[in-house]
Amino acid sequence: MMNIVCLGLNHRVAPVSVREKLWFSEDDVRAILLRLKASGVEESVLISTCNRTELYYVPPASGMDERAVWHVLTSYKNAGDGECSDALYAVHSLHAVQHLFKLASGIDSMVLGDVQILNQIKSSYAIAQACRSTGQVLNKMFSAALHTGKRARTETEIGDGAVSVGYAAAELASKIFHDLSRKTALLIGAGETGELTAQHLRSHGLGQLLVANRTRERAEQLSARMNGRVVEFSELVSALPEVDIIISSVSAPDYVLNRAAMDGVMKRRGPSPLFVIDIGVPRNVDPAVGSVANIFLHDVDSLQLIIDKNVERRKAELPHVRDIVFEELLQFDHWHASLELTPTIQQLRDQFEQIRQSELERFSHHITADLQDDVSILTKRIINKILHTPMVTLKGELGKSHEVKKDIQLVRAIFGLDP
């Protein structure tokens, strides 16, 4: 039987108020893995993100209770066994492997096709390896999961297309400007969405970032984080001729940028395009600005339309990704079945050899010395011929792992081998 367990909670079963109680830093993860090892759990990997905490492990031979394993995590965080344990789910055997493969492929994450989760799994596995808390089973399982995730992203479009406002804006900018490394963006406002958009632009190769905010101190703080330069809020219009991308995300009763101001800016800029991303609600940019030549204006609603289309594209890829998960799951199941076959064959040979040796000893006084070697060779050949067909049959069944497991169990039961 496949002895693998996944214990955890995620965004589907627990609110953030519960999930944050069991969020573990990298140092925490190392400490947990060592505690589990001291408790007898030789193989374990702990994944902890803002959306989930999941422990994958091979139960010890002592049969450590799942609640006892989970208590190692809750007690470390002084989280108690109340809400955290109420939200706990347990997935076993091949279902636990499938759960990990689906997560790695991006179809079980909060954002469908999430590209970050594969890196998080890889990082968690690397920590476990460094702590020597993985073995034959989890090494194979996590290597297969990472392979599944890579296949999903290279053979399907599950991770293609932006599914967040910030990322959608960055993708649009990279289409309008083929080389962002020579472009300058101005971030108006120090809000979270605006900052995320700026981060995505940076990841797409943005050359320079300017930051303008009503409170200069916040602009300086954000500018330092983003490696940008501060522009006085009162002088932002005068800075626009040197800007190629504007990201506006402030709370304002009136438009921050109006048609008249942008007409003047474009006269000074010349024919080069200006991409304006209005993330403010209420809107920060006069909609009439979009009719100015060479200005590409997008607000939250237009970006959401792009996001919705991309989500539908990703959903259309689900059948292809599930096929990949199924293929990889069959291969893992096939491999795991082979683990049971090898010791069965060896134990069966050992049992037959013990019987052979015992019978030879019983009848040794009936066999002359010059015939003993010949009789020994003869009996060995008989045993090898008896075992040959069942062993070949078992090995041939490895491609049908659900059958080979039954066959192995039957062989072990017939010949009285230990479970």
Domain ranges of the chain: 5-159, 165-313, 334-414
CATH T-level fold of 165-313: Rossmann fold (3.40.50)
Active site residues per annotation: 50
As a whole-number percent, the residues of the chain with pLDDT over 90 amount to 59
As a whole-number percent, the residues of the chain with pLDDT over 70 amount to 97
- Sign for the CA dihedral angle at 105, 107, 112, 118 comes to negative
Average pLDDT of span 382-407: 76
Average pLDDT of span 139-146: 98
- Structure tokens of 246? 């504007």
- Has this prediction a pTM greater than 0.75? no
pLDDT reported for residue 195: 86
Domain at 5-159, CATH from 3.30.420.10, 3.30.460.30, 3.40.50.970, 3.40.50.2000 = 3.30.460.30
- The residues near 138 (Cβ < 8 Å, ≥ 6 apart) are 4, 43, 44, 45, 56, 57, 58, 128
Cα distance from N-terminal residue to C-terminal residue, the chain: 10
Asked if residue 398 has pLDDT above 80, the reply is no
- Find out whether 249 and 194 touch, Cβ atoms under 8 Å: yes
Greatest Cα-to-Cα distance within the chain, rounded to the nearest angstrom? 117
Asked if residue 343 has pLDDT above 70, the reply is yes
- Per-residue pLDDT band at 13 (split at 50, 70, 90): very high
The full DSSP string for 59-101 is PPTT---HHHHHHHHHHHTT--SSHHHHT-EEEEHHHHHHHHH
- Find out whether 198 and 185 touch, Cβ atoms under 8 Å: yes
The DSSP element (H or E) to which 246 belongs, if any, is: strand 245-248
